[in-house]
């Protein structure tokens, strides 16, 4: 319930601000196109796909918080995607934050549902910055075994 309320709150505080900021509207459209193309990009082996979506740093002047909020909103609004919300959100944040010069790392993890080996396995994608979770609630990454970090980093979580 809290997660759903936080998502509604994100939409309520982000959408009206787009009326007065043409640059943010343009960034939102760019993020929508990026998310729309993700399923096709992810048909390649994951390291190759991640290399392909990793931009050169420094070509964006948008504030870090605006990038996070717009990426989260864009991922939330793309309800037709075959990709999970955390994957859409993490890869969109990853691409646009790295383009803005923020050296985030995307991580993929897995764990047994309820921590019991006889249950299903669930996965999650999240970002880290300097080895620490980047704007990610603890319950969303704790307990996951990291299967892949990209790019490779030496911070351990």
* Chunked mean pLDDT (size 10), the chain, 157 residues: 59 67 87 95 93 82 86 89 92 95 92 70 89 83 86 60
pTM for the predicted model, two decimal places: 0.83
Side by side, the strands of the sheet bearing 132-133 are 132-133, 121-129, 105-112, 145-150
What per-residue confidence (pLDDT) applies to 56?
Answer: 78
What per-residue confidence (pLDDT) applies to 121?
Answer: 79
What per-residue confidence (pLDDT) applies to 1?
Answer: 40
CB 96 within 8 A of CB 60: yes
Task: Identify the H or E element spanning 25.
Answer: helix 22-41
CA distance 123 to 60: 31
């Amino acid at each position: 319930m809290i997660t759903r309320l936080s998502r509604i709150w994100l939409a309520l505080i982000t959408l009206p601000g787009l009326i007065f900021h043409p640059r943010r509207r343009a960034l939102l459209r760019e993020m929508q196109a990026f998310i729309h193309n993700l399923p096709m990009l992810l048909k390649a082996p994951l390291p190759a796909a991640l290399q392909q979506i990793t931009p050169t740093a420094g070509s964006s002047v948008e504030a870090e918080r605006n990038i996070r909020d717009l990426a989260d909103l864009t991922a939330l609004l793309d309800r037709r995607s075959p990709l999970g919300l955390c994957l859409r959100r993490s890869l969109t944040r990853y691409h646009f934050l790295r383009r803005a010069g923020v050296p985030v790392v995307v991580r993929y993890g897995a764990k047994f549902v309820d921590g019991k080996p006889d249950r299903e396995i669930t996965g999650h994608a999240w970002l880290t910055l300097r080895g620490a979770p980047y704007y990610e609630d603890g319950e969303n990454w704790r307990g996951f075994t990291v299967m892949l970090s990209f790019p490779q980093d030496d911070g351990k979580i």
